[in-house]
Amino acid sequence: MDNPTVKRSERQIAANIFKGSLGNMIEWFDWYVYASFAVYFSVAFFPSENKTAELLSTAAVFAVGFLMRPLGSFIMGRFADRHGRRACLTLSVSIMAVGSLIIAVTPAYRTIGIWSPIILVLTRLFQGLSLGGEYGTSATYLSEMASPKRRGFYSSFQYVTLISGQLVALLVQIVLQRLLTDAQLYAFGWRIPFVIGAFGAVGVLWLRLSMEESDQFTAKNKKSKKAGTLTLLFQYPKQFFTVVGLTFGGTICFYAYTTYLQKFMINTTGLNTRVVSVINFFALLIMLILQPIFGHLSDKIGRKPLLLWFGIGGTLFTVPIFTLLAHVKSAWAAFFLMLAGVVIVSGYTSINAIVKAELFPTEIRALGVGFPYGLTVAIFGGTVEYVALWLRAANLESLFFWYVAFATLVSLFVYWRMIETSHVSTIDADDVAQSTEVQRG
């Protein structure tokens, strides 16, 4: 029989990782542009006399977009397990591009009335479907494509590109803040990044079409009638709920420190919007650099120590960090407090993709990674901003700090009890099975 595996050089592996990761960056750029520019376009879709009310409305739509992620992770995960990782990743970036273009050209509330927020909500639901499929499939593809001894390092590029998307969104914001007046940003400037994202996806689409399919999918899923089915997923309940537990504290902490913190510095700390953009940019740039370092470290010492680093750090230091940040007046103090937070969170972000991928066999890996993750992020990650702003409006903002710390504590118990996935990786088991099949053939 034909050899189902292809011996690739590190250069070929890196090329495929780059193509898969760059598409991930564009998808997350399109997604984060919404959060980064919400302070400017909120009045266009949700006119109000109260700024917090406007932000609550846009945060609610941000959360609504997350509600589609479980459905997206199910539909796209099933598609990836049955028809290929490459085909799914190509489809997801196409959907995100169309959604960004629609937002860019949608008229404001004063022009078409209630249809303006309706179109925005429907488009975010559409994009949520895409993003829901992107995570599980991307994590699966990077993990399967990576060389065995460097899986932690290569899979960390999922969050390298995720953070890159957010960084590029912030960089575009900083540039536009320098080139345009506030009045111009509120009037039309906020539309520019959505146009950039839509057209950037066209180039990424071409790159993803040239990606190679993973050996694991080629060797196993094409022959499996159960690949990507709920029936098969239900055979792995422990792994399913482990992903939920892994994600719970991680997603709440991640969105608290990287997305909501920008609004927290403006509304609570009282820093200038432009200063906050610069603080966020450089803190996230350092976080980006940490991802492959932590990922490489996990290849040497295991995944579990890094998860424990995040769990312990997030539980003990979240409340002090937010409490101090609420009272500082110095931009430098705010920067170092945010930096402390993202260094802690990097223990989770750098390796969560590979940990989840190592739990499931090839036939169900994309769905197994994506679906429980999508459910957890939809319920808890997507509502972080809304919960925080609602508590602020109720003069109970400090409860949000404890909420984030408690969520991290819950995940810490999961990390403490779970196995070291790098020692019992199902990806390695699949590789052994493929080699055995070749020898028998």
In a domain, 230, yes or no: no
How far, in Å, CA of 106 to CA of 198, rounded? 14
One digit per residue, pLDDT tens: the chain, 441 residues?
A: 334 455 677 778 888 888 878 878 887 888 778 777 877 877 778 766 655 656 666 667 766 777 788 888 899 888 888 888 888 888 888 888 888 889 889 998 888 888 888 888 888 888 888 878 888 888 888 888 887 788 899 889 888 988 898 888 888 888 998 899 888 998 889 899 999 988 888 788 888 888 888 777 777 655 566 676 788 888 899 999 999 999 999 999 999 998 889 889 998 888 888 899 889 889 999 999 999 999 999 999 999 999 999 999 999 999 999 999 999 989 999 999 999 999 999 999 999 989 998 999 888 898 998 899 988 988 898 789 889 988 998 889 899 999 999 999 999 999 999 988 888 777 765 544 443 333 333
In a domain, 189, yes or no: yes
In a domain, 330, yes or no: yes
In a domain, 441, yes or no: no
In a domain, 135, yes or no: yes
Q: Which of 142, 165, 141, 163 is nearest to 152 (CA)?
A: 142
Q: How many domains does the chain have?
A: 1
Report pLDDT for 40: 82
In a domain, 440, yes or no: no
In a domain, 3, yes or no: no
Report pLDDT for 295: 94
Q: Give 344's Cβ-side CA count (13 Å radius).
A: 27
**CATH number for the domain harbouring residue 370:** 1.20.1250.20
Residues contacting residue 373 through CB under 8 Å, at least 6 positions apart:
73, 135, 136, 243, 247, 356
Report pLDDT for 48: 63
In a domain, 102, yes or no: yes
**Could you list the residue range(s) of the whole structural domain that residue 124 is in?**
10-214+236-433
Report pLDDT for 429: 55
Task: Provide the whole-model pTM.
Answer: 0.81
